[in-house]
Structure 1
Amino acid sequence: MDEDISIINTNTRNEKIKNFFIHNKKKIISGLSFIVILLICYFAFGEYQDRKKIKISDSFNTITINYSESNKEKTAKDLIQIVNEKNSTYSPLSLYFIIDNELISEKNTINELFDVIIDKTSLDKEIKNLNIYKKALYNADDSNENDLLNILNPVIKSESVWKSHALYLMAEFFYSKNEMQKSKEFFNQIVNLENANQEIQLEARKRLNRDLSE
């Protein structure tokens, strides 16, 4: 008796499952098709991104290897294109090459390229902070106090490994302007910073003891 009831229940359950698939066949097929399409798009996009990275890498290597004084303008133009690709590796490297080889003299253009790297390119947090510091360093000679602080504040207010570098830049900036009290305040921040770069911390102590001691 119990065995018969079990068989009936099994048959009933199987029939329900069968009917479910029959009545929902289109929905099930559509759902599976959608999943397959999503997987294809995901892997296709990944392959596209990989190919794009290789293409950008090849372009950067070709541009920099073939660089000479005679093709300076074209090199700058081509490297700007790579910066605007917003590639996490080769966009910063392109900007550094432009700066190191003085391919562009207009500071506004360089700062705009820094902004592409800092604000629009997907970077590791510390790489972004490094580029903020590099932008400040690039502008330090002809910036006023407010402009330089505006650039460096995201790093100064963080726990970044580049914080001590940013503080040191501000300390030296004020020292060059003969604003000794402000310079001393920034050097003291470096000395009291727990995760400061040891070499920079040592230089800060030397500067305080040698030039800013009362």
Structure 2
Amino acid sequence: MDEEISIINSNTRNEKVRNFFINNKSKIISIAVVLIIILISAYSFDSYKNNKKKEISNKFNSTTLSYSENTKNITVEKLVEIINEKDPTYSPLSLYFIIDNKLVSNQDEINNYFDILINETTLDNEIKNLIIYKKALFNADQAQEGDLLNIVNSLINSESVWKSHALYLMAEYFYSKDQRQKSKEFFNQIISLENSNSDIRLQAEKRLNRDLSE
């Protein structure tokens, strides 16, 4: 008897499953098609990104390896194209190459490239913070106090590993302007930081003891 009931229950379940698939055939097919499209699209996009990354990498390598004084203009043109690709690896490297080799003399133009990296390129937080710090370094010799503070403000108010570097830059900036009290305040902030860079802390201590002691 129990075996017969079990068989009946099993047949009932099978019937319900069969009816479910029959009644929802169109929906099931639609869902399956959508899932297949999503998988194909994801694979295609991933393949596109990999190919694009390889293309940018090859372009950067060929451009920088073939650089000479005679190819300066075309080098800048290609590196700027890579910056505008907003690639997290090769766009920053392209800007660094331009700066290191002094390929562009217009400071506003360089700052515009920095802004593309900082504001429009998807970067890890600390890579972005490093680029902000490099922008501050690039502008430190000519920037007004307010402009330089605006650049490093996000670093100074963060827990970034580049915070102590930004503080040191501002401390030295004010020291070079003979604004000793402001310089001392920034050096003291470095000393009070728990996670300040050890070399930066040492340099700050030396500056305070040697040049800014009362």
TM-score by length of 2: 0.98
Distance 1:6 1:141 in 2: 87
Partner residue, 2:11: 11
Identity of aligned residues (%): 64
Distance 2:46 2:6 in 1: 51
> Counterparts in 2 of 1:83-122, with a 5 A limit?
83-122=83-122
Partner residue, 1:82: 82
> Counterparts in 2 of 1:127-142, with a 5 A limit?
127-142=127-142
SS in 1 for 2:140: helix
Distance 2:164 2:12 in 1: 74
Offset, 1:65: 0.6
Distance 2:12 2:198 in 1: 76
Deviations 1:125-150 (A, max 9, x none): 11110000000000111111111111
Deviations 1:73-109 (A, max 9, x none): 1111110000011111100000000011111111111
Distance 1:4 1:202 in 2: 87
The answer for unaligned runs of 5 or more in structure 1 is none
Partner residue, 2:51: 51
TM-score by length of 1: 0.98
Partner residue, 2:174: 174
RMSD, aligned CA: 0.9
Offset, 1:4: 2.3
Partner residue, 2:157: 157
The answer for unaligned runs of 5 or more in structure 2 is none
Partner residue, 2:186: 186
Runs of 4+, deviation exceeding 6 Å: none
**AA paired with 1:117?**
L
SS in 2 for 1:84: helix
**AA paired with 1:136?**
A
Offset, 1:173: 0.5
**AA paired with 2:49?**
Q
Distance 2:5 2:126 in 1: 68
Does the alignment pair 1:124 with 2:124?
Answer: yes
